[in-house]
Structure 1
Amino acid sequence: MSDNLATRIRVNQQKLGAELKPHYDFIICGSGSSGSVVARRLAENADVNVLLLEAGGSDDVASIKDASAWPSLRGGEHDWAFRAKPNPRLNGRAIPMSMGKVLGGGSSINVMGWSRGHKNDWDHFAAEAGDDGWNYQSVLQIYRRIEDWHGAPDPARRGKGGLLFVQPAPDPHPLAAAMLDAFAAAGVLTFDDQNGVMMEGDGGGAISNVCVRDGQRQSVFRAYVYPYMDRPNLTVLTQALVTRLAFEGKQVAGAEFLREGKLHRIGATREVVVSLGAIHTPKLLMQSGIGDEAELKRVGIPVIQHLPGVGRNFQDHFMAPCVWESRDSIEPRNNRGEATAFWKSDAALDRPDLQSFMVEAPYASPQAAKVAPPANSWSLTTAVLRTASRGRLRLTGSDPLDPIDIDANALDDPADRKALKICVEFCRAIGNSAPLRRFAKREILPGPLEGAELEAFIRNATVSHSHQTCTAKMGRDAMSVVDHRLRVYGINRLRIADGSIMPRIVTGNTMAPCVVIGERAGEMLKADHNV
């Protein structure tokens, strides 16, 4: 982007922020991987006034721009730095869960892996919603439209010239190529694209798809919203913490937010879209009187709409990474995660349920690594993609500033413990195999453990992938929160567009599916309001 555009944006946003209107056509709460998309699509119509609210600050930060610097962002000022409540199955540990508190949300602090989800994920969404607009063939057309793909040509599945720059990690570390050889030797087919045909079948291994260009993060906010911020109809307000929705009966009339110590209330003449992510979206609904009646009464919040599914069905990907010390120092490239494999613990499954992801750095919980691994280490993560355990979010009080209680419930279901153990054993075999021998001086974690010792390692090592989802799910049963058009049941002029609407967690990283959710929401809003 040119310096001229940057200047125009700064001047325009200062003016718009200083002259806030009493109401806008649409208010979008949250500038993450879905909210940024919704805001851009609505603002494309110059006659539509859009207010985008973000609790965090600017993303114009060196460590955010550098795609390899994401480890330094974990737990920092641009991270909500949530912690799940202590879990007895994790030896009482309260594990961290990152979520972006900055323009771009998760896409400004994550690893920038572009993972579309499996064909069967999307077909399941369509079946749950009763709407073929959510099926794989439908979202495939969205992916083709929004991508600017710089990899092996695949015109049936990949797009060129879209807003989002995506490529296989260029000039990957030799470790990544060796990793693919190790996957292949273990019977995992390798592909030239981790999406495309690989995500229509039994999985496979590939160089990772990344939204990284010349080492720089290409966040969803930067791709969608930033180029439109010099326009008079798009106001982007940072440091604006949305606290409650405003109602007229059962119709949402606007949003309240805290900014610089002052409470603002601004109206929405058409709709409010909540895109705060799978932790803050259900929290805002409950603080506003939408949720399980007994839960709301417990903390003294008047009930506007009884929806027992709000905050339920919490899902995430969990991992217990394996770590090796390298024979030589490892200079990280791209996003530090340049190779991945999706595979099945049981051939009878309809989609891969496990993922191994290479990290060009030591990656371990302090409880698993009693001593910090050497800096010249690399890791293999062990994601359980098809978790059977379900968690729950609960309010701790009626004040919007009260923290949210996150019972992630990791490894509650024995099936998850079994799958994670299989994944750890597989990753150990990969890391110690012949193709990787020249990179592996020694195995640091977990080492040759078996039985109770290996189980103890897994309990100490398990951490979150920060793929929190499914807490305001789309569907047609009693626990569903939104319908197939993302409208909150029983409430007018309110939609949810983020990972919380997923009926079940997708196969792989969640950023790309959240972009599709934003695109679907944008299409629906434009159609319903004829804009």
Structure 2
Amino acid sequence: MTTQTYDYIIVGAGSAGCVLANRLSADSNNKVLLLETGGSDNSIFIKMPTALSIPMNTEKYAWQFNTEPEPFLDNRKMHCPRGKVLGGSSSINGMVYVRGHAKDFDEWQQHGAEGWDYQSCLPYFKKAEAFYLGGDQYRGEKGPLGVNNGNEMANPLYKAFIKAGQQAGYAQTGDYNAAQQEGFGPMHMTVKDGVRSSASREYLDPVKSRSNLTIVTGALAEKVLLEGKKASGVAYRIKGAKSQAYASKEVILSAGPIGSPHLLQLSGIGDSATLTNAGIEVNHHLPGVGQNLQDHLEFYFQYKCKQPITLNGKLGLISKALIGARWLFNRSGLGATNHFESCAFIRSKAGVEWPDIQYHFLPAAIRYDGKSAFAGHGFQVHVGHNKPKSRGAVTIKSADPTVAPNIQFNYLQHPDDIEGFRACVRLTREIIEQTAFDDYRDGEIQPGKEIQSDEQIDAFVRQAVESAYHPSCSCKMGEDEMAVVNSHTQVHGIEGLRVVDSSIFPTIPNGNLNAPTIMVAEKAADHILGQPLLNASQAKIAMTSQWQTVQRSSEI
């Protein structure tokens, strides 16, 4: 058995782990070890944005988790892939860049995450970002993470979607990641120079040669080593060979919303009854570990298209070859975008203070995983109710670290979530029926015009919804009895141990999770290093003053 000592050990080279490896090793006095179960991200399918469905569904690059039968989704088992490669889920995701609404982070502070309000988080979003239109009080321009709009909405369907939203009485927003999230506008993606801008590419690749940074791939973490109530290191294995590494300062878990709570439980940290049932010795009773699990659901609203302008006409072998060749030679064209180039954020009903429904528009009628497409031309909008009240759990079931934990989201358990998806169906239909789509819309493919009543909508949703792949909140930050880490990301009751990834979100934001995960890691790095935090922003946010009485407003 090999043993070595470092200052910091980071478990997981995903969105958060890559950020931490970069920031912590910037001081040459810090000796840093980064452990990752997966391997290299040097694959054309990871680098080419349009190939996004491939790495997510490939065993080599992603843990292919499935949930337990979900009782409120007709007992369906839901796919829950997580990154298993350098860059983690930032190397397999859809590259959509959404920070979330400002109020989402104020909500974190209200849940006990002191210092994680919007004004405190905004400087770290900016620090991480290189926005293609330049920086201002909301956007960063000198950070590692490239953010752009793909092909500038060259397909007319993108702008038709925005126009339809305006015709339906909603506001337009030029930048949903700035002052005003609510409304219809262009969508942003983590793509730089036509290539996926993953955490590995932007944070890890530039610093791999640092002598004080050791990156070990193919390493399955088995448990955190404890000396009483202090974390001293990590036990891991590579191809069956056992190793141990010790940390003189801290162990940091960045294994994600499934991996981090599972690793804590493997280490005897968690609910004592849960650990005992799995045959694990209890080292520290912490009942919130694995609890509070949240995710976004979405379904596809699909329509036939009158004009042959959709991506459904680009799915043949010759078209794909031409797209690939253009991308290989100059990193441009349809290969350089994730194809989600317009979007919207709206409120599901009057009385909802900030948006809880999100749209991604796609000029194609095709499954997200690419496995099936409409035979003719079509377009779709992905829609989901993004502030769920249902809660689930990640629960260990074996002391064997190779045995996946039970994953149960309890999707649609809460009646408000069901009501939210009814609103998704009815509001989306109204939007697509606007005159902006008259030249394109040629009949509803899914759900189908016959789906009208609450009962019909509910049945359709139960069968049609899929995970938006945003699991989070399973090691929540706060000070209550179910909190796992404090506001400095330190595990309650264990010295020298932190969790830094999307598992520590107290509540799920209204949007995709890669941007806030990277932000959390940027801010956590300053906490870990004991550096002064960036000054809180004074930037204002724009919201409708009539939210209590109206569901939509054309002026915000």
TM more than 0.5: yes
**Aligned-residue identity in percent:** 35
Quote the Cα distance in structure 1 between the aligned partners of 2:22 and 2:114: 24
8 Å CA contact 2:36–2:219 kept in 1: the answer is: yes
8 Å CA contact 1:361–1:375 kept in 2: the answer is: no
- 300-309 or 327-336, larger mean C-alpha shift: 327-336
Aligned to 1:469: 472
Secondary structure of the corresponding residue to residue 428 of structure 2: helix
Quote the offset at 1:364 in angstroms.
4.5
Q: Name the CA shift for 1:263/1:204 in 2 (closer, same or farther; >3 Å).
A: same
Quote the offset at 1:482 in angstroms.
0.4
Quote the Cα distance in structure 1 between the aligned partners of 2:71 and 2:499: 33
Among 194, 198, 213, the residue aligned to 1:234:
213
8 Å CA contact 1:278–1:498 kept in 2: the answer is: yes
Aligned to 2:23: 41
Alignment of 1:488-527 (within 5 A): 488-527=491-530
Alignment of 1:48-197 (within 5 A): 48-77=30-59, 78-129=61-112, 131-132=114-115, 134-151=116-133, 155-172=136-153, 173-197=155-179
Deviations 1:115-168 (A, max 9, x none): 111111111222333523x121111112222221112x5621112222111123
8 Å CA contact 2:50–2:339 kept in 1: the answer is: yes
Quote the Cα distance in structure 2 between the aligned partners of 1:443 and 1:176: 18
Q: Name the CA shift for 1:362/1:256 in 2 (closer, same or farther; >3 Å).
A: farther
Equivalent position amino acid for 2:299 in 1: A
Secondary structure of the corresponding residue to residue 91 of structure 1: coil
8 Å CA contact 1:325–1:374 kept in 2: the answer is: no
Secondary structure of the corresponding residue to residue 76 of structure 1: coil
Among 282, 285, 288, the residue aligned to 2:261:
282
Deviations 1:8-54 (A, max 9, x none): xxxxxxxxxxxx86111111111111111111100111121111111
Alignment of 1:127-526 (within 5 A): 127-129=110-112, 131-132=114-115, 134-151=116-133, 155-172=136-153, 173-199=155-181, 203-326=182-305, 327-328=307-308, 329-330=310-311, 331=314, 332=334, 334-364=337-367, 373-374=374-375, 376-448=377-449, 449-451=451-453, 452-526=455-529
8 Å CA contact 2:364–2:377 kept in 1: the answer is: yes
8 Å CA contact 1:168–1:193 kept in 2: the answer is: no
8 Å CA contact 1:215–1:335 kept in 2: the answer is: no
Quote the Cα distance in structure 2 between the aligned partners of 1:365 and 1:210: 16
Quote the Cα distance in structure 2 between the aligned partners of 1:434 and 1:355: 22
Secondary structure of the corresponding residue to residue 170 of structure 2: coil
Quote the Cα distance in structure 1 between the aligned partners of 2:211 and 2:63: 30
Equivalent position amino acid for 1:80 in 2: W
Equivalent position amino acid for 1:385 in 2: N
Secondary structure of the corresponding residue to residue 517 of structure 1: helix
Quote the Cα distance in structure 1 between the aligned partners of 2:79 and 2:35: 25
Secondary structure of the corresponding residue to residue 198 of structure 1: coil
Equivalent position amino acid for 1:288 in 2: S
8 Å CA contact 1:320–1:420 kept in 2: the answer is: no
8 Å CA contact 2:128–2:522 kept in 1: the answer is: no
Equivalent position amino acid for 2:239 in 1: E
TM-score (norm 2): 0.87
8 Å CA contact 1:474–1:486 kept in 2: the answer is: yes
Aligned to 2:331: none
Secondary structure of the corresponding residue to residue 83 of structure 2: coil
Equivalent position amino acid for 1:169 in 2: G
Q: Name the CA shift for 1:318/1:486 in 2 (closer, same or farther; >3 Å).
A: same
8 Å CA contact 2:112–2:480 kept in 1: the answer is: no
Quote the offset at 1:461 in angstroms.
0.3
Aligned residues: 504
8 Å CA contact 1:356–1:427 kept in 2: the answer is: no
Q: Name the CA shift for 1:223/1:412 in 2 (closer, same or farther; >3 Å).
A: same
**Unmatched tracts of structure 2, length 5 or more:** 315-333, 533-556
Equivalent position amino acid for 1:47 in 2: N
8 Å CA contact 2:303–2:443 kept in 1: the answer is: yes
Quote the offset at 1:363 in angstroms.
4.4
Deviations 1:175-203 (A, max 9, x none): 1111111111112211221210113xxx1
8 Å CA contact 1:321–1:424 kept in 2: the answer is: no
Deviations 1:257-297 (A, max 9, x none): 12122121111111110011111110000011000011001
8 Å CA contact 1:33–1:104 kept in 2: the answer is: yes
TM-score (norm 1): 0.91
Quote the offset at 1:494 in angstroms.
0.3
Quote the offset at 1:453 in angstroms.
2.7
Equivalent position amino acid for 1:497 in 2: V
